[in-house]
Structure 1
Amino acid sequence: MQIGKVLLQQRTQHHWSQAELAAKLNISRQSISKWEQDVSLPSFANVVVISNLFKISLDDLIKGDDELMDKLMKNQKMSKVSKIVLWAFGIAIVSYGILMFAGVGVQSVQAWIQVPAFIAFVGLLFTINWRQFNRSLSKSTVILGVVLLALLIVPEIYGFVHGFADGMVSMNKGFWEDYGNGPK
């Protein structure tokens, strides 16, 4: 079965118009029409989103569509996430080598890297297309994200609370040493 026929069948089962489906995919209604009429083929990113939207496997969505399979095989590129991970590891390994060669200690690296890391993180948050990002998250991804974020935050909270408590204890200790014996 061609992907256009599967798309039409799924859209009809969900009682969606072409315009409604197009709005969910953040594309034009004309694109849906062209796909359903086998005039053009969706990109791989759209195929994945359609698969998630209709809760059908990619295999069921594109099975028997040799033209789409050929297109997808020709357009296989490294994903942006893969590029981010590979570049990050490459830069980290090269940086590690340079810092070790220069004799820079771990404490120094941890101290100066916090500000650029924070700036990069905030920049990343502002450049993400959140609408598209939210559509791509599965339930298990959200759960794993929550666990990972909690694991990253716990040491920071722990350090903050203990630092605050230690500061209060030493401040109170100094207060009682200076004023604890009553008026002089």
Structure 2
Amino acid sequence: MEISEKLKQCRSNKALTQAQVTETLHVSRKTISAWENGRSYPDVNSFVKLSDLYGISLDLLLRDDRVLTYYKEQNEKSQQIRKVTKRAYILNLILWILSYVEFFRLAGIHFLLIPALLVINITIFMSYYDNWKKLQNRSYLIKLIASFVIIFFVHIILNTFNAVFIQRLTQGNITYLSNFMLGRYTLITLMTLSLIIVIFGRDALQKSEI
């Protein structure tokens, strides 16, 4: 028997409506309908809850080759995503360090592409990072926002006393200074975002539990 039919039959055997299952599992009725019509499959946690709700062993509920194939494909996809995220995190760490070389122009070194590379890598990291649910924790979210604000203003202060910044302010016309200021504050914003990822995105280095 297919898993979709099995789920529908188990619910009927328990005389439960889709609405009642929805309330128990805290998912939408559309999701329950998709499971019972074979359009999608429950995740592992949902399977455990369904097993308890319907009074059927998890082994019996999962005994469907297509479900096993589906989870194998999902596992492989998840592993690939985590590899991309991990590499993006490591590259972000390197670019964050190089951004300070650019920021202070240490030894006169100038990395013109640092801002562009930071934008690309931060975008990739945020696109593949899969643990956004931790932002639902209000205290964690407040800590993250507060950290961003503090780090941003620390960079502003460092920029104010930066010899390169002061020197450039005495040179050039208004157009040049406007472009220079825009470039500096763009770099500061990217440096801040990069450091936030370094601090709060460390779980990207953890191995998948799947």
Instruction: Say whether the fold is shared (TM-score over 0.5).
Output: no
Q: Taking structure 2 as the reference length, what is the TM-score of the superposition?
A: 0.34
Structure showing greater relative contact order (alpha-carbon pairs closer than 8 Å, 6 or more residues apart): 2
Q: Taking structure 1 as the reference length, what is the TM-score of the superposition?
A: 0.39
Larger Cα-atom Rg: 1
